[in-house]
């Protein structure tokens, strides 16, 4: 079957407009990403993830008083019921942290005080969105502790979401630089238009199922290596290269054998991924500060060769990979960090979808047989 046979069919829905949104805009020609009109570079470099989440969910930046009240509610809502931890303790130790995130949200859902409110109750959905954002770092952070055989820790209400994640994962207070790097990456990962997981979330809530089912759909979709998994793959690649002196030969060999270089290229950005521009700066500063410059040196070689040979640039997952590594975060938590951030974008999309809902139900072209005569099983 070829797409040219069917003029209205686009494989993978590439180029098909799936909806109207006021949440974010990707401007490929100028390598720009805006959330609600604000350049993501400004939000990541000058704001906080909490501010970004507020903007995505409420459609406007908070005043200082609104931000302070929002942070207070997020801190109050950060803990999850014991039932969530009991469920996570039943999972095999081999469970992927993305499955831990999925189970965590699914088990928490019926405990949400607004769980049985009608799907289109906007005020209830706003409260759900705040709880969804508040609980992400606790589910992923304490979920990691549980799989490592440790007891969950009580979140500290004075922490930001980034600090809470680092505190639960490492069991120690994060330093300010570490928390800032993670915080800015959360803002950069928070939202990105009608990507696969966001679309899955919108399809789910458009049936008037509940918002948590939308979040669980999003996590399941993000788990796939064609979507969320590239930051982990990029770090495995950097570790395989090992030393800056190996990088030049490695990348030329990889390109000669038509390997895809993880953390490079993007369907939407044909020039630079704007999220990678700020995160590369932060990640390279971090390598210097933590005395681990071999990763930024390898990165420099790969970036140079990819630009000169292929005119392809790093995407957000490339600097995220070595930044998280230098921060000491286990590699299989890189995609769950994406969840901690993206629940804010998914929640904003669920709210937008439900405010003006129409069931999402595309058609398919049937290419199977017709008019086949039925015979009973005993006669086949
Ligand atoms: C993201 C991605 C899927 C976008 O793909 P796309 O827009 O469909 O582009 P294509 O895969 O069709 O690639 C177009 C050309 O660029 C090349 N290319 C794209 N990304 C490349 C990469 N990361 N490494 C090497 N070559 C790459 C392709 O080989 C192809 O070259 P060709 O025309 O000579 O065959 C692709 O860049 C990729 O697989 N990147 C690595 C995974 C990754 O980092 N994903 C995270 C995205 S945020």
pLDDT tens digit sequence for 67-116: 999 999 999 999 999 999 999 999 999 999 999 999 999 999 999 999 99
Residues 41, 144, 159, 266: which is the catalytic one?
A: 266
- Say what the pLDDT of residue 152 is: 98
Annotation says 183 is catalytic: no
The candidate with the shortest Cα–Cα distance to 168, out of 196, 147, 190, 197, is 147
Q: What is the mean pLDDT of residues 200-211?
A: 98
Q: Give the DSSP letter of residue 112.
A: S
Both tokens of 134, joined, read 């508040």
Annotation says 317 is catalytic: yes
Cα 267 to ligand 1 centre (Å): 8
- Strand-pairing partners, residue 39, are 34
Residue 34's φ and ψ, nearest 5 degrees, are: -120, 140
The pLDDT tens digits of the residues spanning 113-135 come to 999 999 999 999 999 999 999 99
Report the C-alpha gap between 214 and 204 in whole angstroms: 5
Instruction: State the pLDDT confidence band at 271, using cuts at 50, 70 and 90.
Output: confident
Q: What is the mean pLDDT of residues 274-292?
A: 95
Report the C-alpha gap between 263 and 229 in whole angstroms: 10
Q: Report the Cα–Cα distance between both ends of the chain, in Å, rounded.
A: 30
Cα 264 to ligand 1 centre (Å): 7
Residues 183, 210, 273, 317: which is the catalytic one?
A: 317
Atom of ligand 1 nearest to the CA of 316: 48
**Mean of the per-residue pLDDT values of the chain:** 96
The pLDDT tens digits of the residues spanning 169-185 come to 999 999 999 999 999 99
Residue 328's φ and ψ, nearest 5 degrees, are: 85, 20
Question: Greatest CA span in the chain, whole angstroms?
Answer: 76
The candidate with the shortest Cα–Cα distance to 340, out of 208, 187, 234, 206, is 187
Q: What is the mean pLDDT of residues 49-60?
A: 98
State what percent of residues in the chain have pLDDT above 70.
99
- CB atoms < 10 A from the CB of 351, how many? 21
| pLDDT reading at 256 higher than 60 | yes
The pLDDT tens digits of the residues spanning 134-149 come to 999 999 999 999 999 9
What is the third-level CATH fold of 40-222+343-355? Citrate Synthase; domain 1 (1.10.580)
Report the C-alpha gap between 218 and 181 in whole angstroms: 25
> Exposure string (b/e) for 284-294, b if CB count within 10 Å is 16 or more?
bebbeeeeebb
Residue 33's φ and ψ, nearest 5 degrees, are: -130, 125
Q: What is the mean pLDDT of residues 283-300?
A: 96
- Say what the pLDDT of residue 40 is: 98
The pLDDT tens digits of the residues spanning 359-370 come to 999 999 999 999
Atom of ligand 1 nearest to the CA of 259: 25
Atom of ligand 1 nearest to the CA of 273: 48
- Say what the pLDDT of residue 228 is: 86
| pLDDT reading at 247 higher than 90 | yes
The candidate with the shortest Cα–Cα distance to 234, out of 260, 215, 209, is 260
Report the C-alpha gap between 346 and 134 in whole angstroms: 14
| pLDDT reading at 53 higher than 60 | yes
Q: Which residues line ligand 1 (CB under 6 A)?
A: 230, 260-267, 310, 312, 315, 317
Are residues 294 and 244 in contact, defined by beta-carbon separation less than 8 angstroms? Answer: yes
Are residues 43 and 55 in contact, defined by beta-carbon separation less than 8 angstroms? Answer: yes
For the chain, give every residue range classified as CATH 1.10.580.10.
Answer: 40-222+343-355
Q: What is the mean pLDDT of residues 28-41?
A: 96
For the chain, give every residue range classified as CATH 1.10.230.10.
Answer: 230-326
Are residues 106 and 306 in contact, defined by beta-carbon separation less than 8 angstroms? Answer: no
Report the C-alpha gap between 98 and 103 in whole angstroms: 9
Please tell me the residue having the least CA distance from ligand 1 atom 46.
230
Mutate to test the pocket of ligand 1, among 256, 265, 321 (most ligand atoms within 8 A of CB): 265
Q: What is the mean pLDDT of residues 289-293?
A: 95
- Say what the pLDDT of residue 3 is: 44
- Say what the pLDDT of residue 4 is: 54
- Say what the pLDDT of residue 5 is: 74
| pLDDT reading at 154 higher than 80 | yes
3-state DSSP helix/strand/coil % of the chain, to nearest 5:
60, 5, 35
Element (H, E) at 32: strand 32-35
209 vs 270: which has the higher pLDDT: 209
Both tokens of 298, joined, read 């390898």
What is the third-level CATH fold of 230-326? Cytochrome p450-Terp; domain 2 (1.10.230)
State what percent of residues in the chain have pLDDT above 90.
93
| pLDDT reading at 59 higher than 50 | yes
């Amino acid at each position: 079957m070829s797409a040219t046979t069917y003029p209205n069919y686009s494989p993978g829905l590439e180029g098909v407009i799936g909806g109207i949104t006021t949440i974010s805009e990707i401007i490929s020609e100028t390598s720009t990403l805006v959330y609600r009109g604000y350049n993501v570079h400004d939000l990541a470099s000058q704001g906080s993830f909490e501010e970004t989440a507020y903007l995505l969910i409420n459609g406007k930046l908070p005043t200082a008083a609104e931000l302070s009240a929002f942070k207070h509610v997020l801190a109050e809502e950060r803990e999850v019921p014991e039932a969530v931890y009991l469920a996570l303790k039943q999972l095999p130790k081999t469970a992927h942290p993305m499955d831990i995130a999925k189970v965590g949200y699914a088990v928490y859902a019926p405990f949400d005080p607004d769980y049985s409110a009608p799907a289109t109750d906007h005020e209830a959905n706003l409260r759900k969105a705040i709880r969804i954002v508040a609980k992400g770092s606790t589910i992923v952070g304490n979920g990691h502790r549980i799989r490592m055989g440790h007891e969950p820790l009580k979140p500290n209400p004075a922490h930001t979401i980034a600090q809470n994640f680092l505190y639960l994962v490492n069991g120690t207070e994060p330093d300010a630089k570490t928390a800032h790097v993670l915080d800015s990456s959360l803002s950069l990962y928070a939202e990105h238009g009608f990507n696969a997981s966001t679309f899955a979330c919108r399809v789910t809530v458009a049936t008037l199922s509940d918002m948590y089912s939308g979040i669980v759909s999003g996590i399941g979709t993000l788990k796939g290596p064609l979507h969320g998994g590239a930051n982990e793959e990029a770090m495995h690649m950097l570790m395989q290269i090992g030393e800056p002196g190996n990088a030049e030969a490695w990348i030329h060999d990889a390109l000669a054998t038509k390997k895809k270089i993880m953390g490079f290229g993007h369907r939407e950005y044909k020039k630079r991924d704007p999220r990678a521009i700020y995160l590369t700066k932060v990640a390279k500063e971090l390598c210097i500060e933590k005395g681990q410059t071999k990763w930024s040196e390898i990165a420099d070689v790969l970036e140079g060769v990819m630009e000169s040979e292929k005119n392809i640039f790093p995407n957000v997952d490339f600097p995220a990979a070595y930044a998280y590594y230098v921060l000491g975060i286990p590699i299989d938590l890189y995609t769950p960090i994406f969840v901690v951030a993206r629940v804010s974008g998914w929640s904003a999309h669920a709210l937008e979808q439900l405010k003006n809902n129409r069931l999402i139900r595309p058609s398919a072209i049937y290419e199977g047989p017709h008019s086949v005569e039925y015979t009973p099983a005993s006669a086949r």
